[in-house]
Chain A
Amino acid sequence: YCLSGHPTLPCNVLKFKSTTIMLDCGLDTTSVLNFLPLPLVHSPRLSKLPGWISKDGSINLEKELKECAGRVFVDSQPEFCLPERELLDLSTIDVILISNYHCMMALPYITEHTGFTGTVYATEPTLQIGRRELVNFMERVPKAQSATCWKNKEIQRMLPGPLKDAVDVWTWKRCYSMQEVNSALSKVQLVGYSQKVELFGAVQVSPLSSGYSLGSSNWIIQSHHEKVSYVSGSSLLTTHPQPMDQSSLKNSDVLILTGLTQMPTANPDGMLGEFCSNLAMTIRAGGNVLVPCYSSGVIYDLLECLYQFIESANLGTTPFYFISPVANSSLEFSQIFAEWLCHNKQTKVYLPEPPFPHAELIQTNKLKHYPSIHGDFSSEFRQPCVVFTGHPSLRFGDVVHFMELWGKSSLNTVIFTEPDFSYLDALAPYQPLAMKCVYCPIDTRLNFHQVSKLLKEVQPLHVVCPEQYTQPPLTQSHRSDLMLELQPPPMPYKRCSVLNLPFRRRYERVYILPELANSLVPSEVKPGVSVATVSAVLQSKDNKHTLQSVPKAPPVAPSKKRKRVMEEPPVTMAPKPLLSGVVPLEAFLATLQKHGITEVKVEETADGHILHLQAEDTLIQLEEDGTHIVCDNNEPLRATLRDLVLRFLQKL
Chain B
Amino acid sequence: FQKELKPPQCTVEPQQSAATRLRIDPLLVHVHQFIVQLKLDHGLHCGVVRAVLTLQEVHQDLGLADSVFRDETEEAPQAVQKPVDKTNGHTLFSISVFPIQGAGQDVGRSCVLVSIGGKNIMMDCGMHMGYNDDRRFPDFSYITQNGRLTDFLDCVIISHFHLDHCGALPYMSEMVGYDGPIYMTHPTKAICPILLEDFRKITVDKKGETNFFTSQMIKDCMKKVIPLNLHQTVQVDDELEIKAYYAGHVLGAAMVHIKVGSESVVYTGDYNMTPDRHLGAAWIDKCRPDILISESTYATTIRDSKRCRERDFLKKVHESIERGGKVLIPVFALGRAQELCILLETFWERMNLKAPIYFSTGLTEKANHYYKLFITWTNQKIRKTFVQRNMFEFKHIKAFDRSYADNPGPMVVFATPGMLHAGQSLQIFKKWAGNDKNMVIMPGYCVQGTIGHKILNGQRKLEMEGRSTLDVKLQVEYMSFSAHADAKGIMQLIRMAEPRNMLLVHGEAAKMEFLKGKIEQEFSIDCYMPANGETTAVMTNPSVPVDISLNLLKREMVLGGPLPDPKKPRTMHGTLIMKENSLKLVSSEQALKELGLNEHQLRFTCRVQLQDPHSDSDTLHRIYTHLKSVLKDYTIQHLPDGTVMVESIVIKVSSSAEDANAKVLLLSWSYQVLPSEVAGGYVVEHRVQACIEDDERHGNSSGVVDGSPDGAVLDDLQALKKVQEVNHMVWQEAEQCDGQDGVDDPHSLLSCLGADHGNAFGCQRVAHHDDNGGHQGAKNQADYTVCGYTVAM
Contacts and interface: CB of A to CB of B under 8 A. Distances in A.
Given A192-B232, A535-B743, A652-B591, A624 B8 contact: no
10 contacts: A194-B234, A355-B373, A509-B546, A511-B544, A511-B545, A512-B546, A514-B91, A547-B546, A573-B755, A630-B607
A518 interface: yes
B568 A571 contact: yes
Interface in B601-616: 601-607
A534 B571 CA distance: 10
A628 B551 CA distance: 31
Nearest to A581: B600
Given A352-B373, A508-B553, A517-B544, A569 B232 contact: no
B691 interface: no
B229 A192 contact: yes
Contacts of B733: 639
B471 interface: no
Given A352-B370, A639-B733, A626 B768 contact: no
B373 A628 contact: no
Contacts of B230: 192
A195 B233 contact: yes
Given A534-B573, A628-B604, 10 more contacts: A346-B186, A509-B547, A518-B90, A533-B573, A538-B570, A548-B569, A569-B773, A570-B570, A573-B755, A635-B682
A337 interface: yes
Contact of A571 (B541, B678, B764): B764
Contacts of A378: none
B553 A545 contact: yes
B223 to A, nearest CB: 11
A597 to B, nearest CB: 17
Nearest to A328: B387
Nearest to A519: B742
Contacts of A577: 588, 671-673
Nearest to B773: A569
Interface stretch (A163-171, A177-185, A286-294, A523-531): A523-531
B312 to A, nearest CB: 34
B573 A339 contact: no
A195, A532, A624, A642: residue with the most chain B Cβ atoms closer than 10 Å:
A532
Contacts of A541: 564
Give the interface SS of chain A, mostly helix, strand, loop or mixed: mixed
A506 interface: yes
A571 B765 CA distance: 9
A551 B233 CA distance: 37
A129 to B, nearest CB: 13
B399 interface: no
B571 A537 contact: yes
B568 to A, nearest CB: 7
Nearest to A570: B569
Contact of B376 (A124, A193, A352, A522): A124
A602 B564 CA distance: 54
Contacts of B186: 338-339, 346, 349
Given A195-B233, A625-B601, A525 B595 contact: yes
B405 to A, nearest CB: 28
Q: List 7 A-B pairs, minimum CB-CB distance, nearest first.
A: A626-B601, A575-B573, A511-B543, A576-B757, A580-B597, A528-B8, A579-B600
A535 B573 contact: yes
Interface string B535-550: 0000001111111111
B227 A580 contact: no
A625 B600 contact: yes
Nearest to B767: A571
Given A522-B576, A545-B548, A575-B588, A510 B553 contact: yes
B230, B548, B553, B589: residue with the most chain A Cβ atoms closer than 10 Å:
B548
Contacts of B120: none
Interface size class of B (residues with CB under 8 A): 35 or more
Given A336-B373, A571-B768, A194 B233 contact: yes
B290 to A, nearest CB: 13
Nearest to A567: B567
B662 to A, nearest CB: 15
B25 A651 contact: no
A633 interface: yes
A642 B671 contact: yes
A538 B579 contact: no
Contacts of B494: none
Contact of B548 (A194, A509, A624, A635): A509
A29 B564 CA distance: 47
A574 interface: yes
Contact of B573 (A507, A567, A571, A573): A573
A550 to B, nearest CB: 5
A40 to B, nearest CB: 24
Interface of B: 8-9, 25-27, 51, 53-54, 88-91, 186, 189-190, 193, 227, 229-235, 243, 262, 366, 369-370, 372-376, 386-387, 541-551, 553, 556-557, 560, 564, 567-580, 584-585, 588-589, 591-592, 595, 597-607, 671-676, 678, 682, 726, 729, 733, 741-745, 747-748, 751-752, 755, 757, 760, 763-764, 767-768, 773-774
B573 A633 contact: no
A338 B601 CA distance: 69
B588 A578 contact: yes
Contact of B575 (A124, A339, A532): A532
Contact of B607 (A506, A530, A632): A632
Contacts of A528: 8-9, 26, 579-580
A553 interface: yes
A628 B572 contact: no
A582 interface: yes
Nearest to A355: B373
A529 B569 CA distance: 31
A30 B366 CA distance: 47
B148 to A, nearest CB: 28
Given A531-B595, A626-B603, A574 B375 contact: no
A570 B571 contact: yes
A335 B573 CA distance: 59
Nearest to A329: B387
Nearest to A524: B26
Given A553-B747, A580-B598, A336 B573 contact: no
Interface string A491-511: 000000000000001111111
A510 B548 contact: yes
A535 B571 contact: yes
A638 B678 CA distance: 9
Contacts of A628: 601-605
B551 to A, nearest CB: 8
A578 B91 contact: no
Interface string A36-59: 000000000000000000000000
A506 B763 contact: no
A374 to B, nearest CB: 20
Contacts of A338: 186, 373-374
Given A338-B186, A354-B373, A578 B547 contact: no
A574 B751 contact: yes
A511 B262 CA distance: 10
Contacts of A337: 376
Nearest to A546: B543
B592 A536 contact: no
A649 interface: yes
A564 to B, nearest CB: 13
